[in-house]
Structure 1
Amino acid sequence: MPFDPPAPLPAATRHAQARAVATWLLFVAGLVWIMVAIGGATRLTGSGLSIMEWAPLSGTLPPLSEAEWQRLYDLYRTIPQYALVNQGFGLEGFKEIFWLEWIHRFWGRLIGLAYAAGLAWFWLRGRIPPGSKPRLLGLLALGGLQGAIGWYMVASGFEADRTAVSPYRLVIHLGLALAIFAALVWTALGLLRPAGTAPAAARPVRRMLLVAAWALVGALLAGGFVAGIRAGLSFNTFPLMDGQLVPDGYWLLSPAWTNLTSNVAAVQFNHRLLATLTLLCAAGAVWAALRRLPAGGARGAVLGFGAAVALQYTLGVVTLLHVVPVSLGTLHQAVAVLVLGTALVALHALRPAAPPSP
């Protein structure tokens, strides 16, 4: 008896399944967004080195006895951060920084559980849209890699004479978090709207938006180096830096390339420059959208991106002028993810329509 393939699902059922998977992906992206904000607070408070053990399973629970608290505190007292920054702050002071790092790691585990459980649920019920499985498995692998890189970053802070993690490893960790967020959002948008609909008149808007998006990526990564070497604690004036547009000492270090990652003056200037370029390109995209796009979702997405960039730029200036308090620094990092999300929504809304079939 010949085998009859299963009948194709009705279009309404396929669309409903795609929407369900997209909703789950956006939920996980929201968890990643919160994770980035918690990571910013962890860095700003110097809490990231308080847990010196990599224990993916047993580390899920916090210390449950005074003896365990004392053991972890004694372990922390062996690293340079304690001797050079926090010496003598006692067990109660240790608990304050411990809890924030524990929440950061717990939230990472929560993201992994939410993603793996959701993937298994949709997979076993046959509700994953055709062609999506490889990408969803790739995202699962990236999540596992992010956990390993997180520990690789933290371990760099235990080295002699270090009181913080390596800025290079910090940028890798931050960059991968942003890449995972972007992949989750873009995959979800593709499931919600598989086909592009933008007319040919939208091409100049999309080109300008792409330039703004790449400038944004550069500003985000440059911001990671600002955070990594605490460059925001210097040159707390705007728009000039010590009364100059380009500060003295920009090329102070040798070899020259190290100025881009290790020189406080150069790192902060580069972040300002890329942020300003993002703002100008976003303004250009908004202007082009108002001229070329009709009222609707695509134009609204571009305007939303422009508003998010303006908000982030203003927040960055305020954070700098106030010498990066924890509250403003954390908010600045969180809004950066919002800007990235609005860029993705706008770019997706401006995908060109497929040419008609011959």
Structure 2
Amino acid sequence: MALSGPSTARTLFAVRTWLYVLAALVIAMIAVGGATRLTGSGLSITEWKPVTGAIPPLTEQAWVAEFEKYRQIPQYELVNKGMTLGEFKFIYAWEWGHRQLGRLIGLVFFLPLVFFWWRGAIKGRLALTLLGIGALGGLQGAVGWIMVASGLEPGMTAVAPIKLALHLTVASVILACLVWVAAGLRKHEPTEAQIEPRLGAVPAVLACLVLLQIALGGLVAGSKAGFTYNTWPLMDGSVVPPGSVLFSVTPWIENFVDNLALVQFNHRIVAYGIVILALWHVWSVSRRAPASKAGRRARAVAGLAIGQMVLGIATLLLVVPLWAGLLHQVFAMVVLSMAVVHTRVSRDAVA
């Protein structure tokens, strides 16, 4: 996707840099969201105030009022009963920071968008695409509140796994869209299309599989499936658990969300599939064009996928310490970004 109308190289660079800065902020947002989840902080703010919520409690009386709201929800009664005000301030800070970062991303998106549009740097299809990404960002805020609200219902002590997975997936789609557009604004060398091999659908399939794996990881995180079956390569003594374990929940469709064994098994299997396909892709590209940029990108995707799988295994074996869980989540975004760049550049180079 190119800029419409004449534009200078400096303007092109500015727009691309802006999009990559946004992508970095989205990754930071996902990291803070992961820390919020792992510290049990996500339900500390029990109301959704998109504007006035930007101001945290400023007086001791305001803090006591916020704490009293938290003491009314099931998580406090069933998990954190007896928590001190100081402990509440700690979990409140994580959730407030997460929401505040979301507001910052909104500003960093819309203010430069208006500026570039006013200057004529963004027009036509590019403008519509960016507006679509902005709308997706607004939807993400609503999805985030729907997720939090699911954890405030009677008997709930955490958010619903399927809604957490949806929240993470939408964030990942926003990241992928930003990277896709930014990568499409790069300047291609005149001879690049002549040396780049046609890669077909494999790069896109890899990117889609990584996105699917992130969604499955959201289910693992939401259901806390990573705290069970903490062995590898076996699960409860076997590579493939018996069907009576994987499909023990009735109706059977609910196993994909509520059965910890199947939730974790699916996450493992898709990881193996991504690594196998990425390695085959490296072999295929290297055989046809060993010195091409496509080959280097394919190796980067494969290397990152292998690194992410190793990190996932370590996170499982260590029973999800905070640092490992966060690193595993953030590194998934790096893998996704590289897979999207590979897909976009490969497509544009042979267009």
Shorter-chain TM-score: what band? over 0.9
Structure 2 residue corresponding to 1:257, chosen from 239, 253, 276:
253
Q: Which residue of 2 aligns with 1:98?
A: 92
> Offset of 1:226 from its aligned partner?
0.4
Secondary structure at the residue paired with 1:265? Answer: helix
Residue 286 of structure 1: aligned partner: 282
When the two chains are superposed, the root-mean-square deviation of aligned CA atoms in Å is 2.0
> Residue in 1 aligned with 2:300?
304
Cα shift at 1:200: 8.9
| Matching residue within 192, 209, 222 for 2:216 | 222
**8 Å Cα contact 1:211-1:281 kept in structure 2:** no
SS of 2:233's equivalent?
coil
CA distance in 2, matches of 1:219, 1:140: 24
The range that moved more, 221-230 or 211-220, is: 211-220
Q: What SS does the aligned partner of 2:232 have? A: coil
Query: For residues 71-129 of structure 1, what are the alpha-carbon distances to aligned partners after superposition, in whole Å with 9 as ceiling and x for unaligned?
Result: 01010011110111111021111111111111101110110010011101111222215
Q: Which amino acid aligns with 2:310?
A: T
Distance 1:245 1:51 in 2: 42
What is the DSSP-based 3-state SS (H/G/I as helix, E as strand, rest coil) of the residue aligned with 2:234?
A: coil
Matched, 1:136 2:121: no
Deviation, structure 1 residue 154 = 0.5
Deviates more, 1:71-80 or 1:241-250: 241-250
Q: Could you tell me how far apart the structure 1 residues matched to 2:45 and 2:278 are?
A: 41
Distance in 2 separating the partners of 1:206 and 1:342? 17
CA contact 2:23–2:179 (8 Å) conserved in 1: yes
Instruction: Return the offset for 1:130.
Output: 4.4
Residue 197 of structure 2: aligned partner:
202
Q: What pairs with 1:210-249 in structure 2 (closer than 5 Å)? A: 210-248=204-242, 249=245
Contact 1:195 1:354 in 2 (8 A): no
Hey, what's the Cα distance between the residues in 2 that align with 1:120 and 1:254?
A: 52
- 1:210 Cα deviation after fit: 3.2
Which residue of 125, 132, 143 maps to 2:119? 125
Q: Which has the larger radius of gyration?
A: 1
In structure 2, relative to structure 1, the CA distance for the partners of 1:32 and 1:353 (3 Å cut) is: closer
Amino acid at match of 1:133: A
2:156 equivalent among 155, 159, 162: 162
Partner of residue 83, structure 2: 89
Question: Equivalences for 1:3-82 in 2 at 5 Å?
Answer: 13-82=7-76
Does the 8 Å contact 1:208/1:284 carry over to 2?
no
Give the stretch that moved more between structures: 96-105 or 55-64.
55-64
Structure 2 SS opposite 1:192? coil
Residue 330 of structure 2 corresponds to residue 330 of structure 1: no
- The answer to whether the Cα contact below 8 Å between 1:42 and 1:101 also exists between their aligned partners in 2 is yes
Contact 2:285 2:298 in 1 (8 A): yes
Supply the distance in 2 between the matched residues of 1:179 and 1:9 (Cα, whole angstroms): 28
SS in 1 for 2:237: coil
Indicate yes or no: 2:319 matched with 1:316.
no
Which SS does the other structure have where 1:350 is aligned? helix
Q: How far did residue 247 of structure 1 move?
A: 2.3
Aligned partners of 1:131 and 1:177: how far apart in 2? 22
TM-score (norm 2): 0.93
Share of identical aligned residues, percent? 46
User: Counterpart of 2:220 in structure 1: which amino acid?
Assistant: V
Instruction: Give how far 1:296 is off.
Output: 4.2
Q: Partners of 2:89 and 2:63 in 1: how far apart?
A: 8
Give the stretch that moved more between structures: 286-295 or 311-320: 286-295
Unpaired stretches in structure 2, ≥5 consecutive residues: none
Contact 2:197 2:294 in 1 (8 A): no
Out of 106, 122, 125, the residue aligned to residue 112 of structure 1 is 106
Letter in 2 for 1:272: R
**Paired position in structure 2 for 1:3:** none
**Structure 1 position 275, deviation (Å):** 0.6
TM-superposed deviation, 1:225: 0.6
Structure 1 contact 210–347 (Cα < 8 Å) conserved: yes
On the 8 A contact 2:195/2:292 being kept in 1, the answer is no
CA–CA distance in structure 1, aligned partners of residues 62 and 148 of structure 2? 21
Structure 1: which 5+ residue stretches go unaligned? 1-7
What CA deviation, in whole Å up to 9, does each residue of 1:150-205 have, x standing for no partner? 111101100011011111111111111001001111011112247995559733x4
Aligned equivalent of 1:5: none
**Alpha-carbon contact 1:47-1:98 (below 8 Å) kept:** yes
CA distance in 2, matches of 1:147, 1:239: 38
Deviates more, 1:323-332 or 1:122-131: 122-131
- CA drift of 1:352 comes to 5.9
Q: 1-side partners of 2:188 and 2:50: how far apart?
A: 37
- How many pairs are equivalent? 345
Residue 275 (structure 1) aligned with residue 275 (structure 2): no
Counterpart Cα distance in 2 of 1:95 and 1:297: 50
